[in-house]
Amino acid sequence: MDLNDDMLNLILSKTDNYYCIGVCKQWYDIIIKNSIICETCNKIVKMYDTVLWITDDNDIVCHGYYGDIKKYKTLKKIIFRDPRFLTKIKRVSIGLWLIAIKISSFPYDLIKNINEKWYTHALKYNPKYLQYIKNPTYSMCVDIVNNCFDGLQYVPENFKSYELCLTAVKKNGSVLKYVPDQFQSKEMGLVAVRDNISYLRYINNPSEELIIEILSDDKVHMFRNFNWPEYIKNPTEDIYIALYNREPVYLDLIGYEQ
C-alpha cells in the first residue's frame, strides 16, 4: 500500500463526504480499485472496509439506504407506523421514501426536491407521480394502467391510444370518463357498462343502437332503482321495446314524459 492509500484510508475514516475522491484522478483510480460497485444501481456500496449503501431483504430497489443496516431497519419500522417521520430524517433515501409513499396517508408535499428517478419506482404504488416526470414514456403509461385501478386519469392525452384506453376500461369501467371522444367505441361502452350500468353516464352521446344492445345484453347487470331518465334521454320506440323485453317495470321507471 503506497502513501496515497494511507492518506485515503485516514481521510475516509474521518468523513462521510466521499466527494473527496474526485480531488485528483490518481485518488479516484485508487478508490475505484479498492471499492465494490453495484452493477444494478452503479453505486459504490463498499469502499475499502467501509460499507456505504445497503439493502434490506424486502427492498424493491437495491442499495436504497446510506448507513447502518440496524438503524435502517429501525427507521423503516417508524415510517411504517407514521410516514410523517420521514420529514425528520436528515438524509432521506429512496428506500425510506418508497416505504412512506406505499402508505396512502402519506402527505405527498412534505418532501421537496425528490430525485426524478425515484418517481419511476413510485409509479407502481401511485400513478400520480407520473406528473412529476419531465419526459414520461409510453411504457410508463402502460405500466400504470396495468398496475393501478384508476391509472388512466394520470396518463397524458398525447399518450392515450385506443388499445391503452380499452385495457384500462376492462380493468375499471369508470375510467371511461377519461377516454377521449375519438377513442370511445361501441365495444368500449359495452365493456364499461358490464362493469356497472351507471357508467352509461360516461358514454358521450350514446346511439340508439348502443343503448338497445346494452339493454339486450345479459352480461349487463340491471337494478330496479336505477334512475333511467338520467341516463337515457329522449328514448325512442325501439328503446321502450328493449326496456320492456328486459323488464316491464322499467317502463314505469323511465316514464313517457320525455
**In a shared domain, residues 83 and 14:** no
- Digit-coded pLDDT (tens) for 2-33: 434 444 554 555 455 555 555 566 766 777 77
123 and 186 part of one domain: yes
Cβ atoms 209, 217 nearer than 8 A = no
Based on the fold, state whether residues 185 and 127 are members of the same structural domain: yes
* Cα separation values, 36 from 52, 68, 169, Å: 10, 17, 47
Give the C-alpha separation, 171 to 151, whole Å.
10
Least trusted range by pLDDT, from 72-86, 95-109, 173-187? 95-109
Choose among 19, 48, 17: nearest CA to 32: 48
pLDDT attached to residue 30: 73
Q: Are residues 142 and 94 in the same domain?
A: no
Residue 241 counted as domain residue: yes
Number of domains the chain is built from: 4
Q: What is the pTM of this model?
A: 0.68
Between CA 245 and CA 87 the distance in angstroms is: 61
Residues 130 and 152 in one domain: yes
Give the end of a domain, one of 90, 114, 138: 114
pLDDT for the residue numbered 3: 39
Residue 27 has a pLDDT of: 66
Over pLDDT 70: what percentage of the chain? 82
Higher-confidence position of 119 and 26: 119
The pLDDT of residue 6: 45
Residues 103 and 123 in one domain: no
61 or 113, which is more confident: 61
Whether residue 229 is contained in a domain is answered as yes
Percent of the chain exceeding pLDDT 90 equals 25
Is residue 80 in some structural domain? yes
* Cβ proximity of 20 and 26 under 8 Å: no
Average pLDDT, the chain: 80
Q: 121 vs 104, which has greater pLDDT?
A: 121
Same domain? 46 vs 57: no
pLDDT classification of 165: cutoffs 50, 70, 90? very high
Together in a domain, 120 and 150: yes
pLDDT of residue 5: 47
Task: Give the pLDDT of residue 93.
Answer: 81
Tell me the C-alpha distance between 142 and 152, whole Å. Answer: 9
Does residue 254 carry a pLDDT above 80? no
Instruction: Identify the domain containing residue 43 by its residue range.
Output: 3-51
Q: Is the pLDDT of residue 142 over 90?
A: yes
Q: Are 189 and 125 contained in the same domain?
A: yes
Is the pLDDT assigned to residue 84 strictly greater than 90? no
Model confidence over 202-222: pLDDT tens digits? 998 888 999 899 988 888 887
Structural domain contains residue 200: no
Pick from 194, 192, 244, 201: nearest CA to 220: 194
Q: Are 85 and 78 in contact (CB under 8 A)?
A: yes
- In 3D, which of 204, 185, 258 has the Cα closest to residue 227? 258
Q: What is the pLDDT of residue 157?
A: 94
Average pLDDT estimate for 80-92 = 84
Q: Do residues 68 and 98 share a domain?
A: yes
- Per-residue confidence (pLDDT) for residue 193, from 0 to 100: 92
Q: Is residue 219 part of a domain?
A: yes
44 and 94 fall within a common domain: no
Q: Is there a single domain that holds both residue 141 and residue 178?
A: yes
pLDDT of res. 255: 65
Given pLDDT bands bounded at 50, 70 and 90, which one contains residue 224?
Answer: low
- The answer to whether residue 199 is domain-embedded is no
Q: Is residue 79 part of a domain?
A: yes
pLDDT in the model for residue 147: 86
